[in-house]
Amino acid sequence: MQRRIGVIGGSGVYQIDGLEGAGWRAVETPWGPPSDEILTGRLAGLEMCFLPRHGRGHVHLPAEVPARANIAALKMLGCTDVVAVSAVGSLREDFRPGDMVVLDQLIDRTTGRPGTFFGAGCVAHVSLADPFCAELSAACVASLRQVGAVVHQGGTYLAMEGPQFSTRAESRLYRQWGCDVIGMTAMPEARLAREAELCYASVAMVTDYDCWHETHGAVDVAQVIAVLGQNAQLARSMIAALPLHLGASRVPCPCGCDRALDHAVMTAPDRRDPATLARLRAIAGRVL
Q: What is the mean pLDDT of residues 271-276?
A: 96
- Mean pLDDT of all residues in 115-133: 97
Choice among 130, 208, 270, 273 that is catalytic: 208
Mean per-residue pLDDT for 99-111? 97
Domain count of the chain? 1
Residue 81: per-residue pLDDT: 97
Give the chain's mean pLDDT.
92
Q: What percent of the chain has pLDDT over 90?
A: 79
Confidence of residue 157 (pLDDT cuts 50, 70, 90): very high
CA 148 from chain center: how many Å?
22
Per the annotation, the verdict on 17 as an active-site residue is no
Closest CA to 42 of 240, 282, 283, 278: 240
pLDDT band of residue 248 (cuts 50, 70, 90) is: confident
Q: What is the pLDDT of residues 184-206, one digit of tens each?
A: 999 999 999 999 999 999 999 99
Alpha-carbon distance of 67 to 113, in angstroms, equals: 9
- What is the longest distance spanned by two Cα atoms in the chain? 62
183 three-class SS:
strand
Residue type, 190: A
List 36, 210, 262, 273, catalytic entry:
210
pLDDT digits (tens, 9 = 90+) for 42-76: 998 899 999 999 999 889 999 999 999 999 999 99
Q: What is the mean pLDDT of residues 253-279?
A: 96
> What is the reported pLDDT for 202?
97
For residue 129, what is the domain's CATH number? Answer: 3.40.50.1580
Domain that holds residue 95: 4-284
The C-alpha angle 75, 78, 80, rounded to 5 degrees, equals 75
pLDDT band at 230 (very low <50, low <70, confident <90, very high): confident
Q: Could you write out the DSSP letters of every residue in 106-175?
A: EEE---S----S--SS--B----SS-S-HHHHHHHHHHHHHTT--EEE--EEEE---SSPPPHHHHHHHH
Spatial CB neighbours of 64, under 8 Å, sequence gap ≥ 6? none
pLDDT of residue 235: 87
**104 has catalytic annotation:** no
Question: If you average pLDDT over residues 265-271, what whole number do you get?
Answer: 96
Mean pLDDT over 21-42 rounds to: 96
